[in-house]
Amino acid sequence: MISSRGRKIFVAIAGAAVTIVALLCIFPFWMVVIGSLTPENEIYVRGYSLWPQTFSTEAYKLAFEDPGKILRSYLVTVGITGAGTAVSLFIVSMCGYVLQRPDFKSRNFFTMFVFFTVLFNGGLVPWYILMTNYLHLKDNYLALILPMMVNVFYLIIMKNFMRSIPGALIESAKIDGAGEFYIFLRIVLPLAKPALASIGMFIALNYWNDWRNGMLFMQDETMYPLQYYLYRLLSSLDFLKSAAASTIDLGDQVFPSESFKLAMTVVATGPIILLYPFVQKYFVKGITIGAVKG
């Protein structure tokens, strides 16, 4: 029974290795949560550790005393994610559907026309000048929504997925006198739900995690999206202090900047992590739909 013993050893090693990788993946999350719960003076003396000597919720108290600013950037991010994902999903799926219709003769030309932008682009600078000098989108929420509205790879995945919808269905609807847009809305979209869910998730995640467009186009602090807000908190102490409640009297205590930073990280990341178990399914599906076949 050599092979079965060998198999046992192998499974044990594989299990251990996978466990270690999984733990490594969670480890930083753990460190940040623990760090945010460590009293500031302990951080100053001992640094961040796996387990603090005492716990303190002071950093969170400071964060929630006057949560207006972080709530505001939450609102900005939720808004642009919602609006951006909805519009993007709609126009991309509509275009993807048409581009695989066999009777649409320009399909190859349009596909190449769109795909060429993946191969070649003008670079950051001309695009930036277009956005700011010609379209005047500085300090405009559209500057956070438009840049990620059309992703060519999602369009192509969508187009490939739409091929699985039987053409006979569309034909018979046409014979019944339904218009093209009506067919798309009432027949194609419901059948494309799996792809819509998965690709929608990817689009939403891109919007949610974007900070670059905030940095490029937003000067008004009240319009910062969440991730850029967090970036500013982490990189500038003055910004960090201004984010904390001014009403709390710290006395002669130092400002708890270290634990406060981490508490804000937790506040900014927490909800998406809580949402995560529910969307993981679509995520995995999305990867396998679009995998390799980009």
Asked if 169 is part of the footprint of other proteins (rule: CB under 8 A), the reply reads no
Instruction: Tell me the per-residue interface mask from 66 to 85 with other proteins, x by CB under 8 A, - otherwise.
Output: --------------------
Q: Which of 71, 75, 86, 124 binds other proteins (CB under 8 A)?
A: 124
Closer by beta carbon to other proteins, 176 or else 249: 176
d(CA 83, CA 88): 8
Please tell me whether residue 161 adopts helix, strand or coil conformation. helix
Find the part of the chain contacting other proteins (CB under 8 A) among 19-27, 54-62, 161-169, 237-245.
Answer: 19-27
d(CA 162, CA 156): 10
Evaluate whether 262 touches 36 at the Cβ level (below 8 Å).
Answer: yes
**Eight-state DSSP code of residue 254:** P
Closer by beta carbon to other proteins, 58 or else 210: 210
Closer by beta carbon to other proteins, 75 or else 130: 130
Phi/psi at 192 (5° precision): -95, 10
Q: Which of 32, 165, 189, 245 binds other proteins (CB under 8 A)?
A: 32
Q: What is the gyration radius of the CA atoms in the chain, in angstroms?
A: 25
Q: Which of 104, 166, 186, 248 binds other proteins (CB under 8 A)?
A: 104
Residue count of the chain: 294
Closer by beta carbon to other proteins, 250 or else 287: 287
Asked if 269 is part of the footprint of other proteins (rule: CB under 8 A), the reply reads yes
**Eight-state DSSP code of residue 223:** G
- Which ranges of the chain does DSSP label H, i.e. alpha helix? 2-36, 40-46, 58-65, 68-99, 107-119, 124-129, 142-145, 152-162, 167-175, 180-183, 189-191, 193-208, 212-217, 226-235, 237-243, 257-290
Least distance in Å: CB of 247 to other proteins? 26
Q: Which of 78, 83, 114, 165 binds other proteins (CB under 8 A)?
A: 114
Residues 206-235 that bind other proteins (CB under 8 A): 208-212, 215-216, 227-228, 230-231, 234-235
Closer by beta carbon to other proteins, 168 or else 292: 292
d(CA 108, CA 93): 17
Evaluate whether 252 touches 246 at the Cβ level (below 8 Å).
Answer: no
Q: Which of 44, 164, 167, 241 binds other proteins (CB under 8 A)?
A: 44
Asked if 140 is part of the footprint of other proteins (rule: CB under 8 A), the reply reads no
Q: Which residues contact 70 (CB under 8 A, 6 or more apart)?
A: 63, 226, 229, 243, 264, 267, 268
Closer by beta carbon to other proteins, 17 or else 248: 17
Q: Which of 1, 26, 175, 274 binds other proteins (CB under 8 A)?
A: 26
Asked if 274 is part of the footprint of other proteins (rule: CB under 8 A), the reply reads no
**Eight-state DSSP code of residue 146:** G
How much of the chain is helix, strand and coil, in % rounded to 5? 75, 0, 25
d(CA 35, CA 42): 10
Find the part of the chain contacting other proteins (CB under 8 A) among 25-33, 52-60, 68-76, 242-250.
Answer: 25-33
Least distance in Å: CB of 107 to other proteins? 9
Asked if 161 is part of the footprint of other proteins (rule: CB under 8 A), the reply reads no
Closer by beta carbon to other proteins, 103 or else 246: 103
